[in-house]
């Protein structure tokens, strides 16, 4: 592999870190963060509904809500995607942020999770978005 291809791959697969992850989640409309479970599990909610949670200790991973059929497909296609720990495995995936999945794809999955939650909100709340 030549040097330009290596640089391109490095630009496409940037290691997601907690600051980038947090900033991206909080950039979405009506999102707030909290620690409702313990001091090391950071939860992101749109209005009052959780769409993402991440750990602040140990291996960085994020749990994201997902369409059930897509959830299975993502697990089959990506070794870094596993059923969501302590979550309904039908709707939640955990993504291990080990650098094997591009930041762009992780952000798309965060967007999907946000959208999955938003579409279940009451119409009055959806209209505010």
Q: Find the domain containing 75 and state its range.
A: 15-128
Q: Residue 9: pLDDT above 80?
A: no
- The CATH number of residue 45's host domain is 3.90.1150.30
What pLDDT, on the 0 to 100 scale, is given for residue 5?
A: 43
Q: For residue 14, give the DSSP letter.
A: P
- Asked whether residue 7 is assigned to any structural domain, the reply reads no
Provide the number of structural domains found in the chain.
Answer: 1
- Asked whether residue 8 is assigned to any structural domain, the reply reads no
pLDDT band at 95 (very low <50, low <70, confident <90, very high): very high
Question: What average pLDDT does the chain have?
Answer: 89
The structure's pTM equals 0.85
Q: Residue 99: pLDDT above 80?
A: yes
- Asked whether residue 99 is assigned to any structural domain, the reply reads yes
Q: What does the alpha-carbon distance between residue 39 and residue 25 come to, in Å, rounded to a whole number?
A: 19
pLDDT tens per residue, range 23-66: 999 999 999 999 999 999 999 999 999 999 999 988 999 999 99
Q: Which H/E stretch holds residue 109?
A: helix 103-118
- Asked whether residue 43 is assigned to any structural domain, the reply reads yes
3-state SS assignment for residue 66: coil
- Asked whether residue 78 is assigned to any structural domain, the reply reads yes
- Asked whether residue 4 is assigned to any structural domain, the reply reads no
* Number of C-beta neighbours around residue 91 at 10 A: 16
Q: Which residue has the higher pLDDT, 113 or 16?
A: 113
Per-residue pLDDT, averaged over 95-124, amounts to 95
- Asked whether residue 2 is assigned to any structural domain, the reply reads no
Q: Residue 116: pLDDT above 50?
A: yes
The answer to whether residues 25 and 58 touch, using CB atoms and an 8 Å cutoff, is no
- Asked whether residue 73 is assigned to any structural domain, the reply reads yes
């Amino acid at each position: 592999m030549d040097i330009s291809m290596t640089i391109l791959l490095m630009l496409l697969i940037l290691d997601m870190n907690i600051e980038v992850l947090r900033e991206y989640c909080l950039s979405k409309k009506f999102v707030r963060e909290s620690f409702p479970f313990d001091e090391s599990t950071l939860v992101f909610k749109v209005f009052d509904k959780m769409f993402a949670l991440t750990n602040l200790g140990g291996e960085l991973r994020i749990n994201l809500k997902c369409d059930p059929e897509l959830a299975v497909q993502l697990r089959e296609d990506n070794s870094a995607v596993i059923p969501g720990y302590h979550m309904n495995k039908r709707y939640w995936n955990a993504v291990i942020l080990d650098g094997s999945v591009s930041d762009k794809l992780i952000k798309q999955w965060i967007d999907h999770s946000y959208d999955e939650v938003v579409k279940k909100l009451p119409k009055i709340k959806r209209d505010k978005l």
